[in-house]
Structure 1
């Protein structure tokens, strides 16, 4: 049953992508001179030499370019959403759609214990399909994202981790029998970003600042978040910064047209703070009895890294520092995030 569910999600993702890509006419695409983008994300605490908490995340994302009027490459099914969702409408806005498939894995620090580790987080897996609606102006970008997935054994997180650990010669986690039970996961995420300030510094070098504000409501998470990103580099792209696997901030739908496919190198430093009301990976199942821990209501993140872009290829690496998420967590967490995007 679990394999059938995941196979269905994969087939739904790729069939939707294929249909969406084919939706706009060839004439319209040639006239727009815009490009779709496919992005692979990978996050892991291997970069920090640990194996605990948020231990692995992967996401595959496809996105249209931004467009309007005759230049649009939006699939027809997305148009009613742009007409009715707050923030993303407006005749002077450019629109894009993204589709994503992802999986997140969480484990306690002690993965040798077969029994429940009472003072540590539960084992948990989360596999989801997401559709995003993005709207941008010159200095503002608004994002809506709907995620539908599953938490529990049906996410196949245990199988994913076992396969990877077997390949690299690491020991398997022994407490997966205690993971969260299967539950349907539905979340709505919204985030806005602004390019408030930008300044050229010498020939082709520049600096800018990109604040963001957002929130999430659903069965997986309920929170409000705010933060900002500072960037410095050569040929800074006309986009809204870098984004790890965080709902509502998909940025690689923004290669734009052929003029935006030039070479660029820059460094960034960002901060994000959350006020957390619900986190299923700490609070436990909504509809089943499960292990849980007392979460921290305030969580902060610092992220630093670099972006290299050449033509239609974009590589991003970032290192993330996250404050403690629950009372009995021994230490803050650090992990790495890597993404590779191609425009086509």
Structure 2
């Protein structure tokens, strides 16, 4: 059963029933380096995302309240529209909330380690737009939140560590100071090929490129994903928890809409040219701990995903290159995604 606030959100943002061509989709993303038997660097991330059914228009649908149409109008230059406007275009709204936390390697040190990254937390809410055709998906996402003690990263980590009987990190007094966070993310995905191999066995290949602008992170990125298996989902890939990574609601040919099943393996890559990373560069307007970041960073992931009835569950092992000059080793962590469509 949906919470009351979510029912209100749906009523305020969705257009008339006749405009609905896809289900409402809930996504839960959870990432943690304990999957890789470590507890450092990017140590935990969690995000909830709600992808709406299709709506007719972001601006003029009469079912949208006037205040929301005004907000949408402000973001008119950012609206994602597929390159081939002759194709049928389906649009979705995306709502997210999430938290990320970062820690240095030594949990017992109470003073700043100049050779290791700062303690940091990021708590945010996001609002985004999707526009898709059969083989393209354009996404715009605006994230607003806070970095610092107000992100409650220490409290969240301490709660989990106490519950699991793990020693607490002792250096959270040195975390980045409170600072409002702002981030605008744009990303384009393109399904280059989808080919049957034998029966329901097939593969597809999805590329992406985009970027982020804001005091939290400024970068350009590009990458791709290869999927291979039975009854591939009719969506745009199995993304790890990253800005712009939310995929659209399942399309008409998705097994989730036919109470079917599917199983596939996937491998993905994302490379970034990083100009700003507050979790390494430190606070924007206050003195804080910082390290010298690397400008080229890449993630590679390999995993498996299953679809059954209205559910999609995936797990990936993610490998990330070194992010700053004095980092001793590259990082690995696990990424779990659970989606439910109805």
Q: Where does the alignment leave 5 or more consecutive residues of structure 2 unmatched? A: none
Offset, 1:66:
3.2
Offset, 1:17:
3.7
Offset, 1:31:
7.0
**Local SS of the residue matching 2:155:** helix
- Aligned counterpart for 1:113 among listed residues 106, 109, 122: 109
Matched, 1:66 2:54: yes
Give the match for residue 78 of structure 2: 85
Give the match for residue 20 of structure 1: 9
- Flag the 1:75–1:304 CA change in 2: closer, same or farther, 3 A: farther
- Flag the 1:179–1:310 CA change in 2: closer, same or farther, 3 A: same
Distance in structure 1 (CA, Å) of the matches to 2:327 and 2:196: 43
- Aligned counterpart for 1:333 among listed residues 320, 324, 331: 331
Give the match for residue 308 of structure 2: 310
**Local SS of the residue matching 1:196:** strand
Matched, 1:254 2:249: yes
- Flag the 1:198–1:256 CA change in 2: closer, same or farther, 3 A: closer
1:116–1:178 contact (8 Å) kept in structure 2: yes
Offset, 1:256:
3.8
Give the match for residue 157 of structure 2: 161
Distance in structure 2 (CA, Å) of the matches to 1:81 and 1:254: 25
Give the match for residue 142 of structure 1: 138
Distance in structure 1 (CA, Å) of the matches to 2:227 and 2:98: 27
Offset, 1:80:
3.9
2:33–2:334 contact (8 Å) kept in structure 1: yes
Offset, 1:288:
0.8
Offset, 1:73:
12
When the two chains are superposed, the root-mean-square deviation of aligned CA atoms in Å is: 2.3
Q: Where does the alignment leave 5 or more consecutive residues of structure 1 unmatched? A: 1-13
**Local SS of the residue matching 1:286:** coil
Offset, 1:113:
0.2
Offset, 1:265:
1.0
Size of the aligned set, in residue pairs, is: 327
CA-to-partner distance for each residue in 1:14-71, whole Å, 9 max, x for gaps? 7864333113679x437736321112111000000000000000111111123547xx
Distance in structure 2 (CA, Å) of the matches to 1:163 and 1:118: 27
Give the match for residue 226 of structure 1: 222
2:302–2:316 contact (8 Å) kept in structure 1: yes
CA-to-partner distance for each residue in 1:133-185, whole Å, 9 max, x for gaps? 01101111000000000000000000000000000000110000000000000
2:322–2:329 contact (8 Å) kept in structure 1: yes
Give the match for residue 166 of structure 2: 170
Give the match for residue 209 of structure 2: 213
- Flag the 1:265–1:66 CA change in 2: closer, same or farther, 3 A: farther
**Local SS of the residue matching 1:281:** helix
Give the match for residue 262 of structure 2: 264
2:255–2:308 contact (8 Å) kept in structure 1: no
Give the match for residue 31 of structure 2: 43
- 1:171-190 correspondence runs (5 A): 171-190=167-186
Offset, 1:121:
0.1
Give the match for residue 275 of structure 1: 273
Give the match for residue 294 of structure 1: 292
- Flag the 1:31–1:122 CA change in 2: closer, same or farther, 3 A: closer
